[in-house]
Structures are given as C-alpha cells and as structure tokens.
C-alpha cells in the first residue's frame, strides 16, 4: 500500500479532504485488539464515534481505494439513517467509479436508501434492473433477486 496506493495523488487528495486517517500497527494494543486487526493491511472505515461501517483486509489498488472509502462513507450515513447523505456518497461513487468493485454494492445500497427515505418500492425494483444490466455477475444481483417481483 505504501509503495502503490497511498502515494497516488487522487488517493492523497481524497483522504486529506474527507477523512482523518490513522495508521495502527497490527500488533498495537489496544486498538488492534479493539478493531480485530489480525493482518496487514486492514482498512477500517469508522464514524466519528469510532463505530465500524466498512472493512477490507489485504491490498487495495489505487483505482479501488477511493471507491472503497466512498462506499464506507455512504454506509456510515446509511447506518445512521441519514439516507439522503448516504445517497449522495453512493451516487458520487457510481458517477466517478462505475466499473469499480464497490459499484454493485453501491447500486444496491442506494436503492435501499431511496426506498427507506420515501417508502416507494420502485427504487428496489430499479436495483435489480440496474444490477442485471450493468453488473450481471455480481453477488448483489442475487441479493436483489426478490425485488424483480415488485
């Protein structure tokens, strides 16, 4: 990560603008224990209260790191029931990184956030349709399978 991803200009700019990064050694106590870090690198996206919302273990390529972080930021707001804010982050991910590994989950989560904020089931069906069209091999299409019936 130090040689490839972290020095990438886009990664640096995104992290400096949006996050408070903290680097902890996998054997650093108590944080490594508190956050169940067993391997390096482990990336954990936390909210301001220190609660985890996104995790990845292992190398993340530069072109996948910002989408990973955007998804984590979207999940923070989703989990806190701030659905409009969650949707904003998820849409940024989809607009800027539509072919990223995080994109299919973003489609799913954005649709659920829209449903939860409006009560309208149409976004749920749209999840399935968009995943089927754009990400047919994604596990998220399987998770959205029941929504095709709406």
Q: Name which of 116, 130, 131, 119 is nearest 85 in CA terms.
A: 116
Who's near 149: CB < 8 A, 6+ residues apart? none
Pair 90, 70: CB distance under 8 Å: yes
**Tens digits of per-residue pLDDT, 13-63?**
999 999 999 998 888 999 999 999 988 899 999 999 999 999 999 999 999
Q: Which residue ranges make up each domain of the chain? A: 9-149
69-128 residue pLDDT tens: 999 999 999 999 999 999 999 999 999 999 999 999 999 999 999 999 999 999 999 999
> Using the 8-state DSSP alphabet, how is residue 148 labeled?
G
Are 93 and 63 contacting, i.e. CB atoms less than 8 angstroms apart? Answer: no
* Reported CATH class of domain 9-149: mainly alpha
Helical H segments across 35-121, by residue range: 62-79, 83-96, 103-118
């Amino acid at each position: 990560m130090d040689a490839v991803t972290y020095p990438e200009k886009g990664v640096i700019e995104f992290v400096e603008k949006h996050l408070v990064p903290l680097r902890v050694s996998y054997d650093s106590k108590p944080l490594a224990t508190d956050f169940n870090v067993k391997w390096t690198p482990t990336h954990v996206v936390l909210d301001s209260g220190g609660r985890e919302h996104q995790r990845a273990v292992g190398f993340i390529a530069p072109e996948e790191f910002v989408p990973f972080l955007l998804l984590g930021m979207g999940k923070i707001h989703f989990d806190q029931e701030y659905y409009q804010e969650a949707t904003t982050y998820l849409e940024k991910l989809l607009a800027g990184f539509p072919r990223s590994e995080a994109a299919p989950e973003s489609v799913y989560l954005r649709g659920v956030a829209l449903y939860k904020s409006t009560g309208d089931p149409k976004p749920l069906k749209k999840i399935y349709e968009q995943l089927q069209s754009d990400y047919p091999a994604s596990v998220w299409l399987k998770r959205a399978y029941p929504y095709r019936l709406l």
